[in-house]
Amino acid sequence: MSKKENVWNQLLFEKSRQGGFINKNLLILGRKCSGKRSLLDALADVTKTLKNGIRQKGITPIVDYAYLNLIDLRDPDYNTNARLNVYILEEEGQKYLLPQILNHKNIKNTFVVIALDMQEPWTFMEDLDRWIGVLQDMMADLRLSLNELEEMKSNVMQYMSQMDGGQAHEGLLKTNLGIPLMVMVNKSDILERDDKGKDWDQKAEIIQFCLRQFCVNYGATLLFTSVKQKINIKVMYEYVLHRLYNMPFETSQHKNLSDFESLFIPLGQDDINIIKSTFTKLANNAIKYEESVPIVQLKKNLVKEELTVEDDQEFFTKLKEKSSQAPATRPILPIQRQVEQPAQQQQTPPADQPLSARGSQQSEQLRNFYKILTGDPIQQAQQQLQDRMRQRTATDIQPQGSATKTTPLFNSQDQQRLQRIFPKK
């Protein structure tokens, strides 16, 4: 971008400042665990946004909603009183919800990001084709007039002309969706690992070759990011605001076509001729991406999975609902385990022991149980278990081969009492 165009963008930005900022939208499309929410957490730090604010429920139960404070990083103390609304979509089947979020008015103030996961590079082209299809269906469902659609496409073409100085580029923007688009590859720090598999350098060239071709065809910016290494986090935020609010952006200072892990190629800075000259061998061969970049199993212990933190209030609400729906049950007290014995060796009360004596024995056992709750439970439980084992060794276990005496259900005193209560006829 020339110095004259930089001055023009600065004037546009100052004019928007005077008129006040409005809330605009960022739509992020990407499969689960592709680093979307980790990126939002990093952007929350950059924009001084409370992290609990980016975990809010959206207007639908499926589409995730977040927001980021709108901050000019060159003048962070200036209060814009505006937010960048962020919507996240993870499944192609959720595309029917997009008309509830975007309409023919706010689509003009929307920036779209397709998030890819560098941990699974073999999914890149499949994901890109899927999400481009979703965007095309979305634009059709918005039922924009021909004038509105042409205006949006013209804005993309005009921006590209500013970036490349009006030069003609081969193969650039074959499909113009009319919306600012970015292909963002997350977790680029994985490229520095040693367990990527054989022939990785060749595969890395194929990945870059195919991604750059795709971005040229659809007029998309290509950006590699890493939350772990803090690669291109601020660049991503500044570029989005540049496209949505005309904030000044030094393209020549930030663009990077050489370092793969921090690659950044804005719209208008690449074309088919540049790609062919950079990847001469690949340009002369037919590339089948799925065959050239097969699945590689990375070590799980080195991969940090993306975690979603549930809001505290939402967690306690769900817990209350579950407890109210659960049937009422009696509390379960801990039961002391006993050593299993053969049926003929089970301990039975002495025949001459009265019922009252056996009741007092049970009361004594109950008191012993509650003693465990008042003292050191582990130590006392171990001591009680040892005492019971010694008692069983002395009285319960009979020598092998000894006759087993069958003990009647009631002793003699109890039988006499029962006969007085229930005399024989």
Provide CATH code, domain 18-291: 3.40.50.300
Give the rounded distance of the alpha carbon of 141 from its chain centre: 29
CA distance 27 to 244: 13
**pLDDT above 70: percentage of residues in the chain:** 60
Residue with tokens 């039961």: 335
Q: pLDDT, tens digit, for every residue of 374-392?
A: 555 556 656 666 666 666 5
Confidence band of 300 (pLDDT split at 50, 70, 90) = very low
The pLDDT of residue 332 is: 41
| Amino acid at position 158, single letter | Q
Give yes or no for a contact between 368 and 375, defined as CB atoms under 8 angstroms apart. Answer: no
Other CB atoms within 10 A of residue 25 CB: 20
Strands lying side by side in the sheet with 264-265: 64-69, 83-89, 24-29, 110-117, 181-186, 220-224, 264-265
The pLDDT of residue 418 is: 65
CA distance 220 to 184: 10
The pLDDT of residue 99 is: 86
CA distance 155 to 359: 91
The pLDDT of residue 76 is: 84
DSSP characters over 155-192: HHHHHHHHHHTT---TTTTSS--SS-EEEEEE-GGGGG
CA distance 248 to 242: 6
Rg (CA), the chain: 36
CA distance 36 to 90: 10
Between CA 262 and CA 265, with CA 263 as vertex, the angle to 5 degrees is 145
The pLDDT of residue 191 is: 77
Q: pLDDT, tens digit, for every residue of 39-80?
A: 999 999 999 888 754 554 444 445 788 999 999 888 888 888
- Mean pLDDT for 388-416 is 57
CA distance 356 to 420: 18
Confidence band of 162 (pLDDT split at 50, 70, 90) = confident
- Mean pLDDT for 201-209 is 90
The pLDDT of residue 201 is: 82
- What are the Cα distances from residue 260, in Å, to 257, 287, 295? 8, 20, 20
| Amino acid at position 367, single letter | R
- Of the listed ranges 126-135, 165-174, 284-293, 330-339, the least confidently predicted one is 330-339
Identify which has the larger pLDDT, 115 or 6: 115
CA distance 243 to 246: 6
- Mean pLDDT for 353-362 is 54
The helix (H) or strand (E) run that includes residue 123 is: none
The pLDDT of residue 327 is: 55
Give the rounded distance of the alpha carbon of 123 from its chain centre: 18
The pTM of the full predicted model, rounded to 2 decimals, is 0.67
Tokens of 235: 């660049």
Identify which has the larger pLDDT, 178 or 324: 178
Nearest to 182 by CA among 208, 214, 206, 138: 214
The pLDDT of residue 52 is: 57
